[in-house]
Amino acid sequence: MRRQRRQRMTENYLVIWADENIDLATEDCQNTLVQLRDVVNEVNTCTTAEECIQNLQENKEETSFVISSGALGQHLVPDIHEMAKLAAIYIFCGNKQRHEAWTKNWVKIKGVHTTIKSICKKLEIAVKQCNQDSVKVSIISVNEAGSSDNLNQLEPSFMYTQIFKEILLDMEHGQDAVQELVTYCQEQYPGNKKELKIIEEFRRNYNSTAAIWWYTRQCFTYNMLNKALRTLDGDIIIRMGFFLCDVHRQIEQLHSKQVSGYHGKIFTVFRGQGQPKADLEKLANSKGGLISFNNFLSTSKTREVSLCFAEGISGATDMDGVLFIITVDPSVSSTPFASIREINWFHSMSSIFRRWKNRLHCSSKRYIHRSRSSIFVDNEFKTVNITMDKLLNENRILKERFDKLEERCQQWIADEQIYLLKRIQHLEDENRRLNENYQAYQKQSEKCIGSVTDLIIKTLFTQEELRKQCTNLHHAIDTVQMRKNTQQNESIIQSKRSISCQLTSNPSVLIHGIIKKGLIFSFHFQNVENRHTTNDQSTWFHQQLMIVEENEQKTTNQPSRTYI
């Protein structure tokens, strides 16, 4: 199973371990990964040839090293050997004799190994070579334009990095810069116990007087800064800006102490590294031109040491070894350099260190032998110095103008801030006033609503009382009416009884009226002359009385009226 890679690598190289029998759950596998990560932080695992090829194809920037089992390697090597970013292949197996024969046919295979320890030793040497070869070289050849005027047309990368360096050296770095870098590096090396231990040591012990010692140590300081300068990774360069400035200034301090010891005598130093074949012809035609190393340039006074680095890339298919022979005249050199033999991490190494962004003038003498090119160069580059000085002066003028513009902008911003603060204060006061008015209005509204509510409730209660009074009045009227009707009925009944009695005793009596419920019946009878009633008359009278009773019954169910 392949371990997922981080999106961003902080070093120049990657190790891919390919073996069908990899089991990350076993202790033996974990121990192997720990040993590999002590040399290279980024280690990917895969169990098939397809996974390994995919890893290599995805890795287009960093140099890769493949560790393969013997069985898997026989099928894998022919497919990956010619990949440009593949630096070396190591066969890791249990039977060395079985695989030595076929591995001799492939120049990138750096031996058959039965222990991971021996692979790690070889890998350490390869990483040093990788670091040496990764220093970018910019070349400006006057032959391209046919005249020395091309010196005024510097490569953009060379010009930009030079200006970037000057700006970076002018930056101020806070006291928290070390802790910020430590925190960032701890995030980049999770699980790498060896590197995390060194990072913690850096946090406790680092100071500016030990900058070169930390830079030459084969750990995160060198690996991260080396890649950042090669790829111009602004994020990491700024994070490590304090460290880069400390190294630069320590070289200047050493140079001022050591330069008098040279007594103006010219001396020679050497540097060996791999160079892409595409740049070799341009480098060979760079007579009278310029070359620039985009890094702190480490050289040696011993030719054989530098020659080993030049010959160390014999397995690379896209690079050739180059031996730079640099003649230094202390009396005219404008680039500080210093011997760091006593203060570098490798105490036994004699080294001449030159500050970041070295510019060298190519001489006319050139030797090419097999895969190695040797070029004599010196530091007499007055023309490019003049050009760079002009660029830097222009940059300083632009910086001064920018500073003035920034000052004006800051003043304008300050004025605007004052105006805005006053405006905000005015708006706050206005808002406060409106809020107070709103609250007063709200209180008044609540008071009015309360009054209206009380009035409505009072009105409702009054209406209810009136309704009850009306109801009681209606009941009283009905009661009075019923009493009146009862009295009328009783009066009528009494009248009827009286009439009946009178008619019985004296039918010829004259009845002037009977009153019932306000109704008056008027009738009278004339006695016959002999004053005797007949049967016919009695019958007629009873009929008239029945009519009167029927009329009384009808009027009882009608409203009270008065009949005369």
CATH code for position 118: 3.40.50.2300
More confident residue, 393 or 438: 438
Where among 100, 133, 166 does a domain terminate? 133
Count the neighbouring beta carbons within 10 Å of the beta carbon of residue 81: 17
What are the tens digits of pLDDT across the range 24-43? 999 999 999 999 998 998 89
Are 518 and 487 found together in one domain?
A: no
Where among 353, 380, 407 does a domain terminate? 380
User: According to the model, what pLDDT value does residue 120 have?
Assistant: 93
Are 128 and 162 found together in one domain?
A: no
Cα-Cα-Cα-Cα torsion 252, 256, 261, 262, nearest 10 degrees, comes to 60
Is the separation of the CB atoms in 364 and 352 below 8 Å?
Answer: no
Residue 7 lies in a domain: no
User: According to the model, what pLDDT value does residue 539 have?
Assistant: 52
Euclidean distance between CA atoms 454 and 355, whole angstroms:
92
pLDDT tops 60 at residue 322: yes
Are 198 and 237 found together in one domain?
A: yes
Are 164 and 298 found together in one domain?
A: yes
HSE-up of residue 411 (Cα within 13 Å, Cβ side)? 5
The percentage of the chain sitting over the pLDDT mark of 70, rounded to a whole number, equals 72
Residue 388 lies in a domain: no
- Banded model confidence at residue 314, pLDDT cuts 50, 70, 90: low
Are 105 and 220 found together in one domain?
A: no
pLDDT tops 90 at residue 118: yes
User: According to the model, what pLDDT value does residue 203 have?
Assistant: 93
| pTM of the model as a whole | 0.61
Where among 359, 380, 401 does a domain terminate? 380
What are the tens digits of pLDDT across the range 405-437? 778 888 888 888 888 888 888 888 888 888 888
Residue 306 lies in a domain: yes
pLDDT tops 60 at residue 372: no
Q: What's the structural domain count of the chain?
A: 4
Query: Which tokens belong to 374?
Result: 């040797």
Give the domain CATH number at 338. 3.90.176.10
Are 289 and 238 found together in one domain?
A: yes
Is the separation of the CB atoms in 309 and 270 below 8 Å?
Answer: no
The percentage of the chain sitting over the pLDDT mark of 90, rounded to a whole number, equals 16
Residue 71 lies in a domain: yes
More confident residue, 179 or 350: 179
Q: What is the DSSP letter of 325?
A: E
- Any idea which of 4-18, 100-114, 202-216, 473-487 has the lowest mean pLDDT? 4-18
- Banded model confidence at residue 307, pLDDT cuts 50, 70, 90: confident
Residue 368 lies in a domain: yes
Are 276 and 339 found together in one domain?
A: yes
Is the separation of the CB atoms in 247 and 209 below 8 Å?
Answer: no
Please, what sign has the CA dihedral across residues 449, 455, 456, 457?
A: positive
> Could you tell me the residue range of the domain that residue 528 belongs to?
506-564
Are 124 and 142 found together in one domain?
A: no
Residue 547 lies in a domain: yes
Q: 26: helix, coil or strand?
A: coil
What are the tens digits of pLDDT across the range 126-158? 888 888 887 777 776 654 434 444 445 556 666
Residue 8 lies in a domain: no
Are 52 and 145 found together in one domain?
A: no
Are 221 and 335 found together in one domain?
A: yes
Residue 277 lies in a domain: yes
Q: 366: helix, coil or strand?
A: strand
What are the tens digits of pLDDT across the range 260-296? 888 888 888 888 888 887 777 777 776 666 777 778 8
Are 264 and 298 found together in one domain?
A: yes
User: According to the model, what pLDDT value does residue 366 have?
Assistant: 42
- Banded model confidence at residue 183, pLDDT cuts 50, 70, 90: very high
Are 431 and 492 found together in one domain?
A: yes
Euclidean distance between CA atoms 42 and 9, whole angstroms:
8
Euclidean distance between CA atoms 33 and 192, whole angstroms:
10
